[in-house]
Amino acid sequence: MTAATLDALISEGLTGRRVLVRSDLNVPLKDGVVTDDGRIRASLPVLEKLAAAGARVLVTAHLGRPKGEPDLQYSLAPVAARMSELTEVPVRRAEDLVGESATAASEELGEGEILLLENVRFDPRETSKDDDERAALAADLAALVGETGAYVNDAFGAVHRRHASVADITAKLPAYQGDLVRDELEVLKRLTETPQRPYTVVLGGSKVSDKLAVIENLMSRADTLLIGGGMVFTFLKAQGYGIGKSLVEDDKLETVKGFLAEADRMNCRIVLPTDIAMASAFAADAEVEVLPTESLESGKHGEQALGLDIGPDTAKAFSAEIAQSNTVFWNGPMGVFEMEAFAKGTAAVAEALTATEGFTVVGGGDSAAAVRALGFDEQSFGHISTGGGASLEYLEGKTLPGIEALGS
């Protein structure tokens, strides 16, 4: 079964109709200001497309992890303000999700206007494990758009959650797949089903446990896995190397040893760093020594040092691997890129992706944030995912509830 498309909805005629859109607006804030508007900008094309077709567009989204009740620090008010700056479409904001403010604002909403509802996770029913509770919230959301309403899921970053606004809502309204979700699925299917070879996967981030299932699933598909970030120290310790005070997951050592052996059997190369930037402390002004991976405890700070980035030789080697690849998927920074001293490895990988002629995918989450924070032109990459956890679960081979609910 194929999901109904956004274009199919528009072809039905939307003038005067209300459309509920689940968007991914989970952006970082600092002092009440959006610090990275990537997900907002990615969500706007579908909202503008619906508004241009004459729809009254209601948007539901989450921000952070409030505990099922209103929490000012997670209000979508700053998001509404940023949306207004980024689009010429009038953006209104409801002070609640499905209460009096939302109902009144929906009734007052004009054709071609956008109404942002308050954080859907302020309602405990959104994430409830009880099917009836989630269904009740879905019914309340559906009531906001009325009998002629429709639902569009354009929040790929949330499709791995069995939440009311993601999955249950499709039983209450005619449901359609947003263009952002469509594009994400096309890219992920290309990565898992028809990658052009050589196919290289670059994995980083802090914890290897977050990537275990991805590694296991991609070893049979990719030609090369490049491992960096904090997760690499579990691999290095599994090989018997000293790692100082670097982050490690001791309970995953045997699993990692198994991966290293299994990769050889599957003809998938796992490439680990040959040098690491070891620091005296987890601090931007820490003293740094670049040491070979077999001697990470041999520096000035000995066993007290901790690794915070891949070294320059590794960065060059990873870049060379990427340069000769026709498909590259990257998820997870190579180091603590938020600190300038430990951003070099991540910047080198990003630069290599922009230079290769192959198809490149930045896998959302911290990788996408790093690309923007380090000043790279987003158009230089084949695709920057908004998925994060959803992308990883797809690559693990899992069923995504939000996608399943759309019939795709």
- Residue list for the binding site for substrate: 24-26, 39, 62-65, 121, 161
Residue type, 171: A
Q: How would you classify the pairing of strands 150-153 and 175-177?
A: parallel
Among candidate residues 11, 358, 2, 404, the one with its CA nearest the CA of residue 202: 358
Distances, alpha carbon 374 to alpha carbons 10, 294, 362, in Å: 38, 30, 14
CA dist., res. 258 & res. 236, Å (int): 13
CA dist., res. 188 & res. 149, Å (int): 30
Report phi then psi at 214, rounded to 5. Answer: -65, -45
Q: Which of 17, 18, 22, 39 is catalytic?
A: 39
Contact 35, 28 (CB under 8 A): yes
Q: Which of 41, 92, 190, 207 is catalytic?
A: 207
Q: From the annotation, which residues make up the binding site?
A: 24-26, 39, 62-65, 121, 161, 211, 307, 338, 364-367
Contact 48, 40 (CB under 8 A): no
Give the residue carrying structure tokens 């190397």.
241
Q: From the annotation, which residues make up the binding site for ATP?
A: 211, 307, 338, 364-367
157 is catalytic: no
Q: Which of 363, 365, 387, 388 is catalytic?
A: 365
129 is catalytic: no
Distances, alpha carbon 7 to alpha carbons 44, 54, 178, 371, in Å: 16, 14, 9, 31
39 is catalytic: yes
Angle between helices 365-373 and 344-355 (to 10 degrees): 90
365 is catalytic: yes
Mention every residue, 6+ apart, whose C-beta is less than 8 A from residue 333. 204, 205, 228, 229, 345, 346, 366, 367, 370
Q: Largest alpha-carbon pair distance within the chain?
A: 70
Residue positions annotated with a catalytic role: 39, 207, 365, 389
